[in-house]
Every structure is written in structure tokens, then in C-alpha cells.
Structure 1
Amino acid sequence: MDIKTLVETQRKYFLTLETKNIQNRIKTIQAIKQWMIKHQDEIMEALKKDLNKHETESYMAEIGLVLSEMNYQLKHIKKWSKNKSVWTPLAQFYGDSYETYEPYGVTLVMSPWNYPFMLSIEPAIGAIAAGNTVIIKPSAYAPHVSSVIKKMIDESCDQKYVAVVEGGRTENTQLLEQRFDYIFFTGSVNVGKLVMEKASRHLTPITLELGGKSPCIVDDQHSLKLAAKRIAFGKFLNAGQTCVAPDYLFIRAELKDQFLVYMKEVIQEFFGDHPIEHLQLVKIINQKHFQRLCHLLENQEIVIGGNYDETTLKIAPTVVDHVDGDNALMQEEIFGPILPIMTYHDLNEVIQFINQREKPLAFYIFSHSKAIQQKLLKSCSFGGGCINDTIIHLATSELGFGGVGHSGMGSYHGKKSFETFSHTRSIVKKATWIDLPFRYYPYNSFKEKMIRFFEK
């Protein structure tokens, strides 16, 4: 089935109202969930082939998160779908006011390659839970995972309800030429701008989950080794190919030397004496991105790591010292296992540096001082973040996840996913046994007094 026909088929199916049946939504999510549980090994094998992910990392950062989100949606979908009563002003006597959640219709989920399974399926589950049909477009850069996703959806869903379109730029272009009722995109800023431009032709609402240079600030000597461990986890997970990875580090000048000692110990603890040879080190997705990262390392003051293997597309966890705002590493999101370090003496310098740049997707503070925590949170705008940890804020369905400004728009996870893929309708239901006459022509002073009284 070609893309245009697929979209038309899904639109016809949506108009049958079958997707608005909550039991159908539940059955569809359960069918995908059961396929996942039964075929976990296939998913892990695909992630291994595309990114060299160890099965533990694959479950922790992809499969497990999706299953958790499915369970959360299944648990709450009936409650969320109910009408929500709100207070009715006295001027509307006698009436009931409430909100209803209406699915948009035919939705498109476009996903990236760095977490190719999780970032394809998790938003799609939100779209299904809200009552939409869904077309999933996985990344061509992760072909094995794309193939597994295609197999999973084909075997557990009817394509008139949920479908997968594989391919590259040609298919992306064809999809964006269609009229969708909602588009959910995760990827780079440049492609996000293109998606937004295409969506604007039909005034299609969108969610953009992008990225940016997410800062990490270390301002406390307490638990400095633990800080190094948690920063290393967030930075080198998935070889740094994580949109919310700490992109660069600001550390109080007197703490830097000891921090580097701890960071070197932590990297050795994680990946041994020769990280590049470690079997669990994730590879860079392709030659293009590998060469881009290697180019960024040229003429840098590398204090940890820096070596790489072009045959395996692996780059060792790397720390670069004496970086400033003009450095090549500070011009774009790194999206790789390279951590630039800058020092400061006055926290206001850090705030000024961050606020002079685009708003980041994530923000990390390592400090035991509530005053410092609050100062940074109050002074800087960002999508979401952690205090004394990294990246874990995206791992709970109780918290929405999304960017702001250049790092994206809209959010999802848990109830936020349901709301993102739903239009909230406002309804007032009036009684017919009484009708206050004050709003009707002709007006006079008495009616004006009554209107003023009722609208107080």
C-alpha cells in the first residue's frame, strides 16, 4: 500500500469511530505489549546489530521503558477518558460544564536512530491510548530495529489502525506531503524546522522533541566521586548518543582536578583499562557521525580517552579540558562520548553563559546547597532536569518530558502523552426548565445590574 493510500485508509477507519472505543485501544496496546514480551530477544538482537547495545542496556533504556509506559497507559486510560467536570459560573445557571478528550485523528510519529525502539513505540502508545490511528516512521539509520518494529506492528495490529512505513528521505518526504491531524517528531533541530514548515501548510499541530547543548553544573565538593559516576553514566550511556546527555560540564575551579581523578577512575570501572576494546561499549551509529565526532576532537586538550577505532565505529569515553565558548565542541550538540569541561569562580558567570545561548533540553545541577539549586532553577530556562543526578527524569511516566524554545515544544510520557494526542473540548450543558432573561435584547439598567451581579 502506498503512503497516500495508507493515510486515506486510516482516515476512513478513524471516521468509523472504532478507535474511540476504549476497549479497542486497550486491546491494541495489549497486543503490541504481548508481542514485545514474546519477542524481546529479537528486539535486543536488532539493537545489538544497529548500535552494539548490551541486552541489559537495551532493556533498561528501551524495552523496559516502553513496557512501563504501556502499563501506565493501560492502568489509567479509562479514568483519563472520562469527562472532567468543572465549576459553572452563576451567570450560566442552570448548567453543567465539563471537558472531553477527543482524539485528533490520523497521526504520524517520526522517530530517530539513537533510541530507535523506545522513541518509536512510546509516543505511538500515547497516540493509540488517546484514540488515534498511527503511522510510525522509524529511522533508516537503524535498519534492524526498523525491521523489527515493522514486523511487530504488522503481526499485532491492522494497518488501517497502526502501521509502519520504513525507508529514508524519500519516504519521509512523501509522508510530510500528506495531511495528518497530528505530527510527533523526535530528532534534530534542522529536521524539526522542516517538519514544522511542512505541517504549517495544513495547520497541523505538532510536538517537536529536539535537543541542544544541555549543561551540567558541579558546585559542591560533597559526594564529588558520586557526581563523577552519575555524570559518566548519563554522558556515556549509548555512547553519548542521547538527547538529554550532559553536553558540557561547568565545574567550580578548585574542584576540577579532583573531579578528573574520579572521572578517570569511574571510566576505568565502567569500561576497563582499554575502553575501546570493551564489548559493552556502544558504537557510533554510522561512518558520517563517527567522522564528525573525530573531527571535533582535532586540536583539543584531551585529558581522558580520545582514542577510537574506525573499523568498529567506537570512540572511547573522552574528556576535554580548557574549553571555552568559542571551541568547536561548543558550537553544536555533540551527541557522542565527548565531555568538554569549563571552570568558573562565580556562579553568575555560568548563568550568563547558559542564558546567552539557546534553551537546552536538559539541565543538571550537582550541589547540596538549596540556595544554589534554587538560584540556577530560577535563573535558567530548560526542558527538564535533575538535581544531583542525570537523565533519570525521563524515566518516569509521572513526569512529562519535553523541550522549550530551540530544544522543542510539547511534552509526553504518562498522562502528558494522552493529553498531547487529544484535543480538549469544552462543553456547557444548559437546562431548559429555566432561562435567565438578562442576556437578551433589549437591554436596560435593571438587566445591566443583574448581569453585573451574576458575573462577580
Structure 2
Amino acid sequence: MTAIQSKTDFRSSFDAQRRYAPQMALTTVDQRLDRIRRLQTWITIHETDIQQALYDDLRKPASEVMLTDLMSVHVEIKHTLRHLKLWLKPKSLPTHLPLVGTRSYVRYEPKGNVLIISPWNYPIALSLRPLIMAIAAGNVVILKPSEQTPHTSALLKKLVHELFPPEEVIVFEGDADVSQALLELPFNHIYFTGSPAIGRIVMTAAAKHLASVTLELGGKSPAIVDESANIQQAASQLAWAKGVNCGQTCIAPDYILVHQSVKQAFMRALYEKLTAMYSPDGGQLKPPIVTPDW
């Protein structure tokens, strides 16, 4: 935790957002859509800045930024713009006999104070997509991006500062101490993407305040290649799936179960595909693992 930021700062911002949350909850569909459109415009205008930040942090090429980060954000925005009015419309339900003469329906309401803790491997997509959801639902948000992608985190802070007043959305940068301090606050909902080990810490902290959670956690992702497989196709797809984003994807295949009868053919094909992707000049094949400068 930096000297500029303290638990007092976090509490002050949280309390300001809590006071504003009822007003945010009363925003109309059109007002929420306007916020999301402004976010969409900002992303489009600053596309080059986003690409540069991700290159500075992760050496990620512009084409991969578009494919793995920005495309999913734009899809999320378009889907939300198209469906938000329907999502917020009260849903009528049949009324039971003892309540004859009345009407029943489900009305969706905001959670209130939301905390988003995003990871370093997809720092744009896994910060902005939850933010879009939270705004669409009428919540106020504190966003804590990863300290391991400082250029991207700084850009996210600039984005939020230019688009939202701090009582609606605010970004706090910093290390794990900042996350721990924020988790002590009584949020209504916490969105976390990361490891199961930290997910347990997040869930424990949320339970103290009866906060709901959305946990996107990494796990085991085996691939199976049996004797009927198209070996060249399987090798090509698995090489791409493992190598995209420098291998840092929670659902990337981390081990392969191969039928003995096609083992050697598959291993040769996989090596050829990986070499073509990552060492086309015939040099030593290096594993697709990110090694940023922090």
C-alpha cells in the first residue's frame, strides 16, 4: 500500500459511493446505456493507447490485443446495449390462489457497492467486462486492477477518471495489501478473477459481510486425443490454444491425454505446429510463457 493511499482513503471513497448508491440505483435504462456508450467511445478513441499499454506490460502484439482483450469488451458492450431494456423489465409471474386479486412479478434491483479485483493476464477485458455489467445493473464500483500490469492499470485509472465521478466508479492501484484492505470493507458484491487460493481469501472476506461473489478461478484443463482424431487438426488447435496470450489463460489446455496408438504422430505434429508458430526461422523453440519486466 502506497503512502498516497491508505485505509482511510478506501473507507472514505467507499462511504461516498454507499451514500450515492441509492441515487445510482434509480438511474433509468437510457442513463445507464449512455454511460456504456461513453465507455465504448473512449475505448475506440484510445485503441492505440490500450495496445501500447499492453505491449509495455506484457509485450503483447496489437493483433492479439484486439483478439483477446478488445473484441470481448466490444461484444459485451453490444450485447448489453441490445438487451438491457429487456433485462430490467419486470417479469410477470402467475399468482397463487390465496393471493387472488393481486399481481406478482420479479423486479431486478442493483446490488449496491461492488468491488472488482482483476488479474494481469487479461487486464483490459477482465476489468472492463465486469465494470460494464455492474454499471448496467445500476451499481457503484471500486476497481482494483493488477499491480503487475502498471501501464494498463494507469490507463484504466485514466479511463475511469475521465468518464465517471468517483462516487460512481473509482480505481485504486497497488499491490496485494490494497486488495486486502478493500476486502475488509462491507461490499454488497465482489467480482474476482484469479487463482483458487486467493479465491478462498476473497470468499472468506465476503462471508463476513454476507456479500455475494462472482469468482472466476483457474483450474485443470485437460485435452483428450483418441485414436479417431484428426492429428494435424488437433495439434494445430492445441498449439494455438496453449500459446495464445503467452499461455496465460485460465482455460488453456495444461495437459493432454493421448491414445498410445497415435502418441508419436501427435507429438511430432504438435512440435511442428509450435515451431511454425513460435520459431519459423528454425531457431530454438522457446516455451510461450510471458516474462514481463516487473
Tell me the CA shift for residue 15 of structure 1.
1.9
Matched, 1:203 2:210: yes
State the partner residue of 1:65: 72
Distance 2:83 2:284 in 1: 43
State the partner residue of 2:142: 135
113, 120, 126: which one aligns with 1:119: 126
Report the structure, 1 or 2, having the larger helix content: 2
78, 83, 86: which one aligns with 2:85: 78
Distance 1:5 1:217 in 2: 52
What SS is found at the alignment partner of 2:116? strand
State the partner residue of 1:215: 222
Matches within 5 A, 1:181-330: 181-271=188-278, 272=280, 273-274=282-283, 283-285=290-292
Question: CA, structure 1 residues 261+221, in 2 after alignment: closer, same or farther (shift >3 Å)?
Answer: farther
Return the TM-score normalized by structure 1: 0.60
Q: Amino acid of the residue matched to residue 283 of structure 2?
A: H
State the partner residue of 2:154: 147
Matched, 1:89 2:96: yes
Distance 2:244 2:151 in 1: 20
State the partner residue of 1:99: 106
State the partner residue of 2:30: 23
Tell me the CA shift for residue 263 of structure 1.
0.7
Distance 1:188 1:264 in 2: 29
Tell me the CA shift for residue 13 of structure 1.
1.1
Distance 1:43 1:113 in 2: 14
Aligned sequence identity (%): 38
Tell me the CA shift for residue 91 of structure 1.
3.6
What SS is found at the alignment partner of 2:186? coil
Check the 8 A contact 1:112/1:186 in 2, yes or no. yes
Superposed CA offset, 1:184-241 (max 9, x none): 1111111111111111111111111111111111124342211111111111111211
Q: Amino acid of the residue matched to residue 250 of structure 2?
A: C
Report the more deviating stretch, 133-142 or 8-17: 8-17
Tell me the CA shift for residue 71 of structure 1.
0.9
Tell me the CA shift for residue 19 of structure 1.
5.2
Return the TM-score normalized by structure 2: 0.92
What SS is found at the alignment partner of 1:102? coil
Distance 1:20 1:249 in 2: 49
Check the 8 A contact 1:20/1:103 in 2, yes or no. no
Tell me the CA shift for residue 276 of structure 1.
5.6
Distance 1:147 1:74 in 2: 27
9, 16, 37: which one aligns with 1:9: 16
Distance 1:66 1:110 in 2: 17
State the partner residue of 1:168: 175
Q: Amino acid of the residue matched to residue 63 of structure 1?
A: L
Report the more deviating stretch, 161-170 or 212-221: 212-221
What SS is found at the alignment partner of 1:239? helix
Superposed CA offset, 1:362-413 (max 9, x none): xxxxxxxxxxxxxxxxxxxxxxxxxxxxxxxxxxxxxxxxxxxxxxxxxxxx
Q: RMSD between aligned alpha carbons?
A: 1.8
Superposed CA offset, 1:247-296 (max 9, x none): 11111111111111111121122121236689xx6633467xxxxxxxxx
Superposed CA offset, 1:52-71 (max 9, x none): 11111111000111011011
Q: Amino acid of the residue matched to residue 61 of structure 2?
A: H
Distance 1:192 1:225 in 2: 38
What SS is found at the alignment partner of 2:190? strand
Gaps of 5+ in 2: none
Question: CA, structure 1 residues 209+19, in 2 after alignment: closer, same or farther (shift >3 Å)?
Answer: farther
What SS is found at the alignment partner of 2:106? strand
Question: CA, structure 1 residues 137+81, in 2 after alignment: closer, same or farther (shift >3 Å)?
Answer: same
Q: Amino acid of the residue matched to residue 106 of structure 2?
A: E
Check the 8 A contact 1:19/1:133 in 2, yes or no. no
Question: CA, structure 1 residues 79+275, in 2 after alignment: closer, same or farther (shift >3 Å)?
Answer: farther
Q: Amino acid of the residue matched to residue 199 of structure 1?
A: A
What SS is found at the alignment partner of 1:16? helix
Q: Give the greater-gyration-radius structure (CA).
A: 1
Check the 8 A contact 1:149/1:164 in 2, yes or no. yes
Q: Amino acid of the residue matched to residue 61 of structure 1?
A: T
What SS is found at the alignment partner of 1:163? strand
Q: Amino acid of the residue matched to residue 205 of structure 1?
A: S
Superposed CA offset, 1:106-135 (max 9, x none): 100101111111111111111111111111
